[in-house]
Structure 1
């Protein structure tokens, strides 16, 4: 049986991962030394490429944080009393 608290923890890890992914995409595209923004601007459809880049970063970080949070939550020792 899946507990609602487990779903809430997994959802919060997913939201945190997506937020970190969006922050990463923002920083990477605004640091001119990396040249990612210039590379995106040379594309035939820069708006679509930027949207795909930001979406990929958000999804990748979100999935990673969700799986990590799920693994940590499921391996947590439940014998310790909660305060």
Structure 2
């Protein structure tokens, strides 16, 4: 019985690590999207402001940026976790 409990514990640890990486990626993507949208260094804020639906454009921009960072951080965390467990 102890090997089964150990495997279940290891699997739970992997899920916790992946959740942590996903949360960190989401936070980083959200911060990066807000900085790009509000600091008009690259002209993104101007493009969003002159769109027909600026609120929807802003929401899509922030959502997609956040999603890309979250998925990237989760996949990277998965690879690092699998390499560490080996």
The normalised TM-score by structure 1 is 0.87
Query: Structure 2: which 5+ residue stretches go unaligned?
Result: 1-6
Computing the radius of gyration from Cα coordinates, the structure with the larger value is: 2
Moved over 6 A (4+): none
Query: Structure 1: which 5+ residue stretches go unaligned?
Result: 79-83
Looking at structure 2, the residues matched to 33 and 71 of structure 1 have their Cα atoms a distance apart, in angstroms, of 34
Looking at structure 2, the residues matched to 72 and 39 of structure 1 have their Cα atoms a distance apart, in angstroms, of 38
Looking at structure 1, the residues matched to 40 and 14 of structure 2 have their Cα atoms a distance apart, in angstroms, of 41
Q: Does 1:74 align with 2:85?
A: no
Aligned residues: 78
Q: Does 1:16 align with 2:24?
A: yes
Q: Does 1:51 align with 2:59?
A: yes
Matching of residues 16-35 of structure 1 within 5 Å: 16-35=24-43
**1:64 aligned partner:** 72
Name the one with the larger helix percent: 2
